[in-house]
Amino acid sequence: MIEIISDFDHGNIHCVDASDPSNIQLEIKPDGKADFFQWFNFRVEGAADQPLTMTIRNVHRSSYINGWKNYQAVASYDGEAWFRVDTVFDGETLTINHTPDNNAVHYAYFAAYPTTRYRDFVGDVKASGMLDHAVIGETLDGQSIDYFKTGEGDRQFWIIARQHPGETMGSWWMEGFLTALTEESNETARALRAKATLHIIPCMNLDGSKRGHLRTNAAGIDLNRAWQNTTMDKSPEVCLVREKMRETGVQFFLDVHGDEAIANNFLDSAINIPSWDHTHAARFDRFSSLLLEESKDFQTEEGYPAPAPGKANLDVANNYVAETWGCLSMTLEMPFKDASVNPEPAQGWSPERCRNFAREHLTVMAQIADILR
């Protein structure tokens, strides 16, 4: 008897019919108070050595249809090691074919990052004693929003992740970034601390994460479309972080995300905000070229098209921050698929690669700090 289970932290699937292992019918559930859906995460129990054919039949109505082209789902037996499994998109449905070795196997859109892991990791970072920690407030579901601070430099660096809960690569990136900052012998971290004070929000959208959402918080708000007009009763996560930024000022901002469709890592600048000028452009180009030198996983050919001059959406965090503080401000997008500039087909883009990529960002931040005032 096969069971499909998703009533756990960041789980998402509706099981329509699992009576026949060769024809399991599934659907992804939309975010609680919004229509977005794409994230799936479920466990199959009691299917060791049985060939499974699992069809997610509503993907043609999902938020990012291009996300399914050339996409391979991930699977894991332990939540640590994730590998790609045979996945077919026919324009309408997504079919995953896999024969699990064990009686408990996870399938997900990308390596899952449950809030239990998040709490354990935050505990480890606090225990290192290398960063100051504070809770800056609560989410609508009553979860503590963690804030870390480190460094003595006069430049204020803000780094946030997981505004969109389905983009778990943001949390894997944060693990790499924060781990590097906990290492006493890390010379790059030391160099960055001397120049900058780092303000870090490891997870912006804890409620959406726990609830198994793709994009929104408990009130159905897309946090990355709520930076200009935000209220404590709808999006306290943004209100609280924005308030803290007003206290410190901002000279550098990086907001870490994942992109469903584009099979590469890329940076999105705040191009064509009302105040966009040569200074903005030069700082962004400098950061991009330093990252290009540092990382074989980064590229600058593929990315988002620029909005019309002056028309960048100021409800998006990186545009809002660039316009408000006149600083270098970027969104990092990592792929759900694989990075086509440096493919690794067995794992695709993965937790390990996210963590490594974060360390490369740390190196480039230490370099760019010199030109930021």
- Return the active site residues: 333
Q: b vs e for 79-110, b when ≥16 Cβ sit within 10 Å of the residue's Cβ?
A: eeebebbebebeeebbbbebebeeeebbbbbb
**Selection from 236, 224, 249 nearest residue 313 by Cα:** 224
x-or-dash string of contact with Zn ion, 130-149, rule CB under 5 A: --------------------
Which residues 32-71 are close enough to bind Zn ion by CB under 5 A? none
Which residues 243-272 are close enough to bind Zn ion by CB under 5 A? 257
Nearer of residues 84 and 257 to Zn ion, judged by Cβ: 257
The answer to whether residue 213 forms part of the interface with Zn ion (CB under 5 A) is no
Q: Least CB distance from residue 266 to Zn ion, whole Å?
A: 12
Please state, in angstroms and rounded to a whole number, the distance separating the CA atoms of residues 296 and 203.
26
Strand partners, 25: 17, 55
Q: Least CB distance from residue 130 to Zn ion, whole Å?
A: 28
Q: Least CB distance from residue 128 to Zn ion, whole Å?
A: 28
Q: Least CB distance from residue 257 to Zn ion, whole Å?
A: 3
Nearer of residues 151 and 351 to Zn ion, judged by Cβ: 351
Nearer of residues 195 and 257 to Zn ion, judged by Cβ: 257
Please state, in angstroms and rounded to a whole number, the distance separating the CA atoms of residues 147 and 79.
25
Q: Least CB distance from residue 330 to Zn ion, whole Å?
A: 13
Residue 289's φ and ψ, nearest 5 degrees, are: -70, -35
In one-letter notation, the amino acid at residue 208 is G
Which residues 159-198 are close enough to bind Zn ion by CB under 5 A? 164, 167
- Cα–Cα distances (Å) from 121 to 203, 248, 256, in that order, read 12, 26, 18
Cβ neighbours of residue 90 closer than 8 Å, sequence gap 6 or more? none
**Selection from 309, 303, 254 nearest residue 277 by Cα:** 309
Lookup: tokens for 326: 């006149």
Please state, in angstroms and rounded to a whole number, the distance separating the CA atoms of residues 125 and 321.
27
Nearer of residues 164 and 210 to Zn ion, judged by Cβ: 164
Lookup: tokens for 24: 């399991």
**Count of residues interacting with Zn ion (CB under 5 A):** 3
Nearer of residues 63 and 363 to Zn ion, judged by Cβ: 63
Nearer of residues 100 and 165 to Zn ion, judged by Cβ: 165
* Chain contacts with Zn ion (rule: CB under 5 A): 164, 167, 257
